[in-house]
Structure 1
């Protein structure tokens, strides 16, 4: 054994992640040093048994050129599943530097859902080059997944399924499981199909193992088993999982023939991605933006919404200019006007956030919409009255004017009611017109509360000054 091998063997095992859950810095440095020295023994010792999620985090922590070198040095020892765990921009950057032969070899042993997830990032020419280097059977399975629409269940399903005929007995089924080598890596139920491979139902593994061997599978089938079509939107499938506490669901084609299965691990990723997109879009950030994106791309993607926000800010400023005489007459109005607008903006954002989330989960419609609007208007009124008393009292004491306190109190009630209405109405209207409410709601809601806030406060103030 060489000194390098002894060092790798005798070295204490390093922690993979620190207390905050980030990849350990010392581990990254160790891998970087091994890459610099082309120390394959150390690399294998460190990376070989690493979970794909940790390996993905390690790839993101390495420099771009080190990522490609790590994959090249490890060869077949590199788990390509790790590429499903990294940011999209990192994965695309890695795939651009790898040869079609390397990618084809890497995806060959993956589940179809992971292989499709990696290949869909390639342009058509590179994708075809990779597929051409696979066997016909492998190519057909992957091409089938790639042919389904982006964001569909067909893109997320794994084609490796376990299906048996209804006339088999429990004993035959168990023997089949023991004797078959190419079973899915993990499965939680036995799918049942007719001779034409149409989905009939499913049998949970616990029910199968509790039943005597001579019993026919047909008697154990749960005929209420749910299935989804390959063309169904994957977010709709995720809601099905949430609603019925599913672990896996079979996927069928338009003729109800079994073509795959979607499992809970993929659905967790879908739910996380959807929530991540909503949070980004509510802030006016591109849903595809990642921490690893270049500065130029981030600046360009954010510019458009900042420009829209600038335009709407000028609109609010134009409303204030209508009351230029009153503002020059009473300086306190200029000081207090932003308070009303800001409070309305915050209240509207609260309502808008709940409304957008409810729309995304399909909870806002029909009688539920009416109840939600009523609830938010009552909340707006209660908070409006509460803050009217607080701001009215503060303004009266601060500027020594009871009239000014009444003005801001009235404006606060009006603006918080407008905020409640805008927070619901704008996301719902955008959704009805086919515009993603998570993307566009924030700017329009803020504009409404600014305009209404300034107009109500300064308008009431103008009436008060006229009669003072």
Structure 2
């Protein structure tokens, strides 16, 4: 191997601070905290300095909440804009609260607009005003404009820092413009072409500009077909468009069609991850599910769904109470009833999860709702028949009662079939009423499967016992 082919020497972070999965080692985290607790900020800073900004952000998320302020004081000069852009929302809010308004303003000024908005939007109204007052007029105007857009919209997500050129320019004009303006953004892959009213008429990849003769008109090399993002579009819909059309970046336009910003794929990757995790957590009623979230907030997010589940469980209890006489005559029913309800609940959860995901990714629309319901009903019938045959045979052999086997098999088939129907219908109905199907679907589906499960099982058992009497 020649000298030029030698691999780069590993950094200190690669050899000691991080494990094979690029996570900070517990021993390293402990060493940093020991230095802070011993009043040795120089040693703490020496340990942290080699880390990448994302790893410094991870370090603050890993240490206990009551020790973050001391760590921040020890390595304050390393807490730059890149670190704050990587921080967990809750941890970032803690650190921002500990800073002076002018310090927050300095950090925000170094960030892209979308990252600066993410920091400032979580502040109290009065703190926001103080931070904005401490910013330069141009930066303040950009942040205030972004904050005026709805939360989780393209206006909050977009960057104002972009390259836009008029359609009458040549490639040479564009190159001279890029080389002669030091204030232009340095991170871009696409140049937007606009008309005299600043409306986007096309875009051109940076690589095309670099490889095209100077005398060629930019309008002759630009791509006229482009995906424009309305400034008020929900960020989840933005992510779906990027995914569907394989976009690297996209222009954001206001109500009049003027170019006001752009969204890049790195922003969208974060949104896709965030939305996917959010739906999963909403299905379980776990709130935001962030381990850095304050205990009180986590408690409030979870307890309301547990209380709602308590009331829906009372419906199933009422069904059981209606058949007390039947249960007294055949005690085995008390042991077998939860099996029917539990398996039906799992079947409903499977269908519900698939449906919520299909709604979130626009796979399930009004055009194919009926087909999807019929499909899930077919799957439910197949599953129900299989499970019913297994449980019916097992119960008949165990209790020596073919009638009891038929009863539980029939109840299982009915409940799994109803569960498949409810697993589709409940999320679709919530979505049609403009409600998030991930929020309350599990409560209603569980209520239906529990109630139908006990009703079918105990109802069939009552009918069978009356025939035998």
1:139-288 matched pairs, under 5 angstroms = 139-286=140-287, 288=288
Aligned-partner Cα distance in 2 for 1:12–1:228: 40
Distance 1:70 1:331 in 2: 62
Aligned twin of 1:440:
440
Higher alpha-carbon deviation: 394-403 or 169-178: 169-178
Cα–Cα, structure 1 residues 379 and 122, in superposed 2: closer, same or farther, change >3 Å? same
Cα RMSD of the aligned pairs, angstroms, is: 2.0
Are 2:428 and 1:428 equivalent residues in the alignment? yes
1:18 matches 2:19: yes
CA distance in 2: counterparts of 1:38 and 1:290, whole angstroms: 31
Q: Tell me what 1:398 maps to.
A: 398
Q: TM-score, normalised by structure 1?
A: 0.93
* Alignment partners' CA distance in 2, 1:47 and 1:255: 48
Structure-2 residue corresponding to 1:332: 332
More off after superposition, 308-317 vs 390-399:
308-317
CA drift of 1:45 comes to 4.2
Residues 145-154 or 348-357, more deviating: 145-154
Alignment of 1:258-407 (within 5 A): 258-286=259-287, 288-407=288-407
Q: In the alignment, what sits opposite 1:457?
A: 457
Tell me whether 62-71 or 100-109 shows the greater mean CA deviation: 62-71
Residue equivalent to 2:5: none
2: CA distance, partners of 1:403 / 1:63: 60
SS of aligned partner of 1:251:
strand
Contact kept? 2:33, 2:71, Cα under 8 Å: no
Provide structure 2 residue ranges, at least 5 long, that are not aligned to the other structure. Answer: 1-10
Name the CA distance, whole Å, in 2 between partners of 1:161 and 1:428: 39
Does the 8 Å contact 1:81/1:114 carry over to 2?
no
Quote the offset at 1:268 in angstroms. 0.7
Classify 1:16/1:185 alpha carbon distance in 2 versus 1 (closer, same or farther; 3 Å): farther
Paired with 2:202 and 2:71, the residues of 1 have a C-alpha distance of 45
Deviations 1:382-441 (A, max 9, x none): 111111111110010000011111111111111111001110111111122222211101
1:120 match = 121
Q: Which residue of 1 aligns with 2:63?
A: 62
CA distance in 2, matches of 1:377, 1:242: 30
Preserved CA contact (<8 Å) 2:164 2:193: yes
Q: Kindly indicate whether the alpha-carbon contact (under 8 Å) linking 1:92 and 1:121 is maintained by their aligned counterparts in 2.
A: yes
Q: 1:257 to 1:39 in 2, by over 3 A?
A: farther
- TM-score, length of structure 2 as denominator length: 0.92
Separation in 1, partners of 2:191, 2:464 = 76
Q: Which deviations, in whole Å up to 9, do the C-alpha atoms of 1:204-248 show, x marking residues without a partner?
A: 122222322211101112111111122111111111000000011
Where does 1:406-425 land on structure 2 (aligned, <5 Å)? 406-425=406-425
Contact 1:48 1:78 (8 Å CA) reproduced: no
Cα shift readout 1:186-208 (whole Å, capped 9, x = no counterpart): 21111111233221210012222
SS in 1 for 2:118: helix
Residues 391 and 408, structure 2, Cα contact 8 Å, conserved in 1: yes
1:170–1:216 contact (8 Å) kept in structure 2:
yes
CA 108–72 in structure 1, closer or farther in 2 if over 3 Å, else same: farther
CA contact (8 A) 2:13 2:51 kept: no
CA contact 2:285–2:301 (8 Å) conserved in 1: no
What secondary structure is seen at the aligned counterpart in 2 of 1:367? coil
Measured in 1, the distance between the counterparts of 2:187 and 2:130 equals: 30
The aligned counterpart of 2:8 is: none
Task: Map 1:81-96 onto structure 2 (within 5 A).
Answer: 81-96=82-97
For residues 248-307 of structure 1, give each alpha carbon's deviation from its aligned partner in whole angstroms, at most 9, with x where no partner exists. Answer: 111122222221111111101111110111111111111x34102233332232111111
1:14-45 CA deviation, whole Å, 9 max, x = no partner?
A: 53432354322232233324434665554554
SS in 1 for 2:256: coil
Q: Which runs of 5+ in 1 are unaligned?
A: 1-9
Q: Distance in 2 between matches of 1:49 and 1:80?
A: 16
